[in-house]
Amino acid sequence: MSHSNDSLTMHHALEEEDPAARLADSRREFGEWGGVNAGIEVSTTFTVLEADTLPQIFAGEKGPSGGCYLYGRSFNPTVRYLGRQLAALEGAAASYCCASGMAAISATLLALCNSGDHIVCSNAVYGGTFALCKDFLPAKCGIRTTFVDIADLAAVQAAITDKTRVLYTESLSNPTLVLADVPRLAELAHAARLKLVVDNTFTPVILSPLRLGADVVVHSLTKFISGASGKLGWLSAILLLLLLRDQLYIIAGAVCAADGNFINSLMDLRMGPLMLLGPTMDPKVASELSLRIPHLALRMREHSARAQHYAERLAALGARVVYPALPTHPQHGLMKRLANPGTPAPPAAHTGDSLPTAPKLCWYGAGGMLTLELGSLHGAKRFMERLQNLHGFGLLAVSLGYFDTLMSASAASTSSELSEEELARAGAWAGAEWAHVGLTGSVAQRWRQLEEAYRHVAAVQPAAQPAYQAGHAGGEAAAGSQLKGSPTWHSFGSLDTGDSQEEGEAGASGAEDASPAGQHRIKVRRLTSGTELIHSKDTQPASGPRRQTPLSAQGSAEHSKDAIAATAK
């Protein structure tokens, strides 16, 4: 009996540490008429039964906790419900959501700092955060920032002054994947009476900074928590609009706090940054997000398992890869100590081409981000273009958390706000390809594509030209009615409509292949001398292998079977 009670106590303790279990135990809201989903409150203003209630709301004597709402820019019931879900996930006393991750960061820092105050910030943070602290806050608010290596606790301690009010870091840094030792940082911050603010965008569910000692956690909900609407190129946006018309393009942020009074202060009618600056979340966006949060834990496990699988196999090829679950990562042991335990499960045996049923490091893994060094920025660009344009492995786009893999060279994109010297101090490689690992395709399929691209680029001299260049073709029926061509990325060239126009690529030329009646005539655009004939399904190339362009490089499934195929050497 004692053994049974001990097991039950341990099980309950694990549930308390598990974000998914806390979410399941949180209060559920239903629709007004008994709908299984919470209703959406779209009103911009709210009525009261008694005239005396309004002055009490403006005086702060009554508020949403008592069912008294005022105005859409203040608390909204639907947004507040999403905030309670996030508070459960993070183990926060309270949380509230806003229009973007940068709104969450800006409001938090403005609430904690006044003119003349000082921030100590990690030197490896998102480029927007870096620009806010380095340029905007000093110029507009008189708040200055010292950037330090957040893994060097002595440097952090030395940077703190009597003017410092905030210690700011990311739980797992963008893009260098440096892990913050949140318990030790909390000790330093609290000893100096500072607030420790942690951006947990990269590791929702995996890490719980508030439970490790942080005071405030901020999120860009656009990323993993949304899971379906990352920032994409224009083609992907068109596809989403066509195929997912009922889905919302989501950009959103959140602030979670160990002290519920801090969240209330953000919405104060006279001094609240969220209230007065007005980065209000649309309640329809809040409703959409609240429906995605319940399966966040499942998605994070899959992102983590795939990222670790690819990282291990790339490392086995001799690649310089950074991933926190690899024993070569300098904070591998720290990640294992800080990560949420979740529900224990026996390790799963797997072969080289199969995916383990759970990440190896901990229950939710080490996240879906990895960094790969390709030797130079040129090499990183060629690698990403080959993966996207030849294999359809993923998308050249910033952001993360999308169901497809997203790839970018951070030094030339999301961290471009940093100078070369600042990038070097942050530990960012100029030739690094930074990838959010998606969920689509089989593991064996995606690994074959990844391995081919890596072996190809790693074996080619940096100055060599690509062995292929994606092209584009539009077809015409013999009767003269033009088939719709597929829109595509700029790197694929533009649609050749037959109009006379200058080519944007060096060496480009137009050509037309006349086909017998009843077949398609093909207009060919050669972007480089290495590009072979682009043909339709009805016209076979004279020689050479035929490779169908991936669906991700096509305008739609309807057009893909008729219009596009590309060949590569």
Model pLDDT for residues 488-524, shown as the tens digit of each residue:
333 333 333 333 333 333 333 333 333 344 443 333 3
Q: In 3D, which of 306, 353, 318 has the Cα closest to residue 455?
A: 318
Euclidean distance between CA atoms 334 and 408, whole angstroms: 27
426 C-beta neighbours (distance < 10 Å), count: 24
User: Quick one: which H or E segment has residue 148?
Assistant: strand 144-148
Euclidean distance between CA atoms 251 and 458, whole angstroms: 36
Q: What is the pLDDT of residue 234?
A: 39
Q: What is the pLDDT of residue 195?
A: 98
Asked if 432 contacts 410 with a C-beta cutoff of 8 angstroms, the reply is yes
Q: What is the pLDDT of residue 166?
A: 98
**Of the given ranges (73-77, 182-186, 508-512), which has the lowest mean pLDDT?**
508-512
CATH architecture assignment, domain 296-341+363-459: Alpha-Beta Complex (3.90)
CA–chain centroid gap for 12, Å, is 32
CATH class of 23-41+76-231+243-293: alpha beta
Q: What are 221-257's pLDDT values in tens digits?
A: 998 998 865 443 334 444 444 434 444 468 999 999 9
Q: What is the pLDDT of residue 391?
A: 93
What confidence tier does 541 reach under pLDDT thresholds 50, 70, 90? very low
Asked if 491 contacts 468 with a C-beta cutoff of 8 angstroms, the reply is no
Q: What is the pLDDT of residue 424?
A: 53
Integer-rounded Cα Rg, in Å, for the chain is 26
Q: In 3D, which of 283, 379, 358 has the Cα closest to residue 39?
A: 283
What confidence tier does 353 reach under pLDDT thresholds 50, 70, 90? low
One-character DSSP codes across 398-432: S----SSEEEE-GGGTTTTTS-HHHHHHHT--TTE
Residue with token string 């996930």: 89
Q: What are 101-123's pLDDT values in tens digits?
A: 999 999 999 999 999 999 999 99
Looking at mean pLDDT, say which of 127-131, 179-183, 367-371 comes out highest: 179-183
Q: What are 258-279's pLDDT values in tens digits?
A: 999 999 999 999 999 999 999 9
Mean pLDDT of all residues belonging to the chain: 76
Euclidean distance between CA atoms 62 and 53, whole angstroms: 8
Q: Indicate the pTM of the whole model.
A: 0.74
Whether a cis peptide bond, with omega within 30° of 0, leads into 487 is: no
Region 6-17 average pLDDT: 53
18 vs 375, more confident: 18
C-alpha distances (whole Å) from 78 to each of 20, 43, 328, 503 are: 21, 10, 44, 51
234 vs 210, more confident: 210
Domain-by-domain residue ranges, the chain? 23-41+76-231+243-293, 296-341+363-459
Domains 23-41+76-231+243-293 and 296-341+363-459 fall in the same CATH topology: no
Q: What is the pLDDT of residue 513?
A: 38
Asked if 267 contacts 278 with a C-beta cutoff of 8 angstroms, the reply is no
What confidence tier does 549 reach under pLDDT thresholds 50, 70, 90? very low
What percent of the chain clears pLDDT 90, i.e. is strictly above it?
48
pLDDT at 75 over 80: yes
User: Quick one: which H or E segment has residue 266?
Assistant: helix 260-266
Region 368-396 average pLDDT: 88
pLDDT at 535 over 50: no
- Read off the tokens for 163: 């003017």
Q: What is the pLDDT of residue 218?
A: 98
Sign of CA dihedral 71, 73, 76, 78: positive
User: Quick one: which H or E segment has residue 286?
Assistant: helix 283-292
Mark 473-503 as b/e (b = at least 16 C-beta within 10 Å): bbbbeeeeeebebbbbbebbbbbbeeeeeee
pLDDT at 294 over 50: yes
**Of the given ranges (50-64, 152-166, 174-188, 415-429), which has the lowest mean pLDDT?**
415-429
C-alpha distances (whole Å) from 561 to each of 329, 391, 537 are: 45, 17, 7
Looking at mean pLDDT, say which of 91-100, 374-383, 539-548 comes out highest: 91-100
pLDDT at 17 over 90: no
Q: In 3D, which of 101, 129, 132, 106 has the Cα closest to residue 220?
A: 101
Q: Count of alpha carbons within 13 Å of 45, Cβ hemisphere only? A: 3
Q: What is the pLDDT of residue 397?
A: 85
What percent of the chain clears pLDDT 70, i.e. is strictly above it?
66
Continuous H helices in 18-91: 19-25, 53-58, 77-90
